[in-house]
Amino acid sequence: MLQFPQASIFVANEQLYASSGPDVRKDAIKSRRLRILVIDDDDDLRDSMALLLASKYGAIVASAESGLKGIEALKAGSTFDVIFLDLRMSEMDGLQTFYELRRQGVTSRIVLMSAHGRGPEWNEALKLNVELFEKPILEETLISILSQL
């Protein structure tokens, strides 16, 4: 099992979470075993997203409850295909985390997300020309993001 400091790991048992229908894009995503980091300070949202990504899409998912802990996971040498990053968090918000990850040379695709509507943080993120979605992310949007990796 992968080791991440202060992070949770979700790896699905493929037989337990067998696909219920022939969806070519889901099967293609599942076969790639994507490595995903979910950074969100909301325990329920973070854990449910991580479990969904692992169970439905066959991803190897690490999660962190803050920007700092997410950065620690990356400093430990872990690499990810995509990072889902909450925009509004205490301690270090999503934009600060985004800037720090890029400053450190992290080239993973970063998708910002927010459950707090389109406030000042949202407008600031739009200026950066980053991917930004409202939470919860719709499944079709999630499939589109994962298909492009």
* Fold designation for 8-147: Rossmann fold (3.40.50)
The token duo for 4 is: 């991440």
CA–CA gap between residue 56 and residue 54 (Å, rounded): 6
Q: What percentage of the chain exceeds 90 in pLDDT?
A: 57
CA–CA gap between residue 24 and residue 12 (Å, rounded): 19
CA–CA gap between residue 127 and residue 111 (Å, rounded): 14
* Contact present, 130 and 101 (Cβ < 8 Å): no
* Contact present, 118 and 138 (Cβ < 8 Å): no
**Can you give the pLDDT at residue 75?**
87
Helices (H), ranges, 79-119: 94-103
DSSP annotation of 105 reads T
41-71 pLDDT, tens per residue? 999 999 999 999 999 999 999 999 999 999 9
**Do you know the residue count of the chain?**
149
Strand ranges across the sheet with 131-134: 8-11, 60-64, 35-39, 82-86, 109-114, 131-134
φ, ψ for residue 110 (rounded to 5)?
A: -120, 125
Of residues 119, 52, 108, the one with CA closest to residue 85: 108
77-118 pLDDT, tens per residue? 889 999 999 999 988 999 999 999 999 999 999 999 998 777
